[in-house]
Amino acid sequence: MNTISMEEEKKIFNFLKSQGCCLRCCLRFIGYRMSDCYSNPLEFAARMNYIDDKDDSSKTPCIACLGILQDKTQENVITKVVEEVKKKDYDCATFICALTVPVSIKLREHILYAYVSKETGTHESITSALRTKLQNVKDTWKSFMISKLEQAMEKHADLSTPSPFLIEIFLSYGDDEIIFQELINKHKGSNKQTKRKCNDNIFSRKNLETLLSEITDEQFIDYFKISQIISKTFVHVNDVLCSHSSIFIGGRYNKFSRELSQTPWFINGEKKVETSVQDLLCNSIAETVKAECTFYSIKFLSSGREDVDVRNVYSGRPFAVELLNPRMTNITSDLLTHLAASINQSTKQVQITSGLKVLSRLDLKKLKEGENAKTKFYRALCVCEGVNGSLPQLENLNKLKNIKIVQRTPVRVLHRRPLSPRTRVIYEMRARWAKPHELKKLHTAAESVDVFFVLDVKTQAGTYVKEFVHGDFGRTKPSLSDFLNVDVDIIALDVTGINLKWP
């Protein structure tokens, strides 16, 4: 026997209403799920002959939902949501909504169902069937509140995509912990396992679920009288939080300074360089789209990185910036063009070499994969001492192809990289003597320019080029020093090309 008649529905409905349930909760408890019955519960209940059509809903807080499904709280919620969205100036045309409700809602539902069976004489099988049909408060709230929020904010609720703009509404109830504590105190004395389970956080939803699975209807009636859970106050709108999922903007950059780190450089909390590539690029982008703009909130992604003293020239290094919680999301190509020009005008140390672009997750995957799959091009200014301008074996470098080298972690990065050898490929090299104009800015006491040469090299991604040149005390084998059979050092290094289609 689990089929409920209209008379039984009406009896349960009126019992719940007499105990202080709002009309929407009365409909929830007898299994209604259609959104139209919750849009205008007074009209629907009158049409179903549950109440007289002149009957007005109670102005006191509902004993079941604490006012969450009542008009007074809804007006409060709408006002605070609209205020928050306008204050933060989010321009996203769509939204999704999340609702957090007091823990005791579930407890109240169990208590009321226990009393429904006792006070109305409803068969246990019918009560059990109604419990399975009960729509939770959150889903009921969304069924009629989403349309009201859409109208108030002039935004569209997008649940299918879903929208990247999330509005979180936190509702709290002052006596929540008192009611839950009373249940704990009455039940834990007879159940040592419950006491252990509730030790960590006695007010958690998880612990409540554990208790509810152990307690019978008879125990609920023994522990609580309905009068004990009557609410004197409505739930409080504790907070409204708005957030937009990250967006990514990327392009390519050149770095022309040999005194600029790629990311902010701190040692023991002290900033070692005044600014960085990340600061010069990302701060302007984050400010433009009104994203969070702090050291910890900006995430700078790039296809590899250059050292502080290494330039990046010609086509530039692919990069992307993750923008957390942006409030401007309608980003046009004109805006990006203006933004790139503005950044280039503001600094000579870093320049954007390609048009900026809003990126997809697939684009980011390509950037990440390119770290290991791409080839890279470098130009190194090298010096050989004590060769008196004669180094016939230099020309032999141009004949070498696809050389495999083994590099142990360089001494200069041992403090932040694991100690592990790796094999890399030098695809080809081109060497020539340095020209006078290439040495003008060098601060060196060398009398002869003939000891300097320029090496253009094409390598596998992840090759330590500096160490390939000088050998790093034998940690790179073979090295340029090995091929030339003389000591070689590197004076300056440029990244001249990163073979990755981007953006």
In sequence order, what are the residues at sequence separation of 6 or more whose Cβ sits closer than 8 angstroms to the Cβ of residue 197?
A: 207, 210
Give bridge partners of residue 168 from the DSSP assignment: 98, 241
Residue whose C-alpha is closest to residue 381's, from 432, 344, 313: 432
> How many Cβ atoms from other residues are within 10 Å of residue 206's Cβ?
10
Quick one: residue 480, left, alpha or beta (phi over 0 = left, psi -120 to 50 = alpha)?
alpha
Q: Which stretches of 25-118 are assigned E, i.e. beta strand?
A: 94-100
From CA 11, how far away is CA 241, in angstroms rounded? Answer: 41
Could you give the CA distance from residue 170 to residue 384 in angstroms, rounded to a whole number? 69
Residues found in the chain: 503
Work out the burial of residue 160: count CB atoms within 10 Å of its CB; fewer than 13 is exposed, 13-18 middle, 19 or more buried.
exposed
Which helix (H) or strand (E) segment holds residue 455: the answer is: strand 452-460
CB within 8 Å of 244: residues ≥ 6 apart: 90, 92, 164, 165, 166, 325, 326, 327, 329
Q: Which residues pair with 432 in a beta bridge?
A: 454
Which residue has tokens 């204050």? 87
Marked catalytic residue, from 158, 307, 363, 456: 307
The beta strand positions in 87-135, using DSSP E, are: 94-100
* Angle, CA 73 vertex, CA 77 and CA 97 arms, to 5°: 40
To the query of whether residue 307 is one of the catalytic residues in this protein, the response is yes
Dist. CA 85–CA 93, nearest whole Å? 12
DSSP state string for 329-346: ----HHHHHHHHHHHHHH
Which ranges constitute the DSSP H helices of 323-391?
Answer: 333-346, 361-373
Tokens coding 438: 């290439």
Residues 339 and 376 sit within 8 Å (Cβ to Cβ): no
Tokens 């006191």, residue located: 60
CA 14, 36, 125: angle at the middle one, nearest 5? 45
CB 489 within 8 A of CB 469: yes
Catalytically active residues are: 307
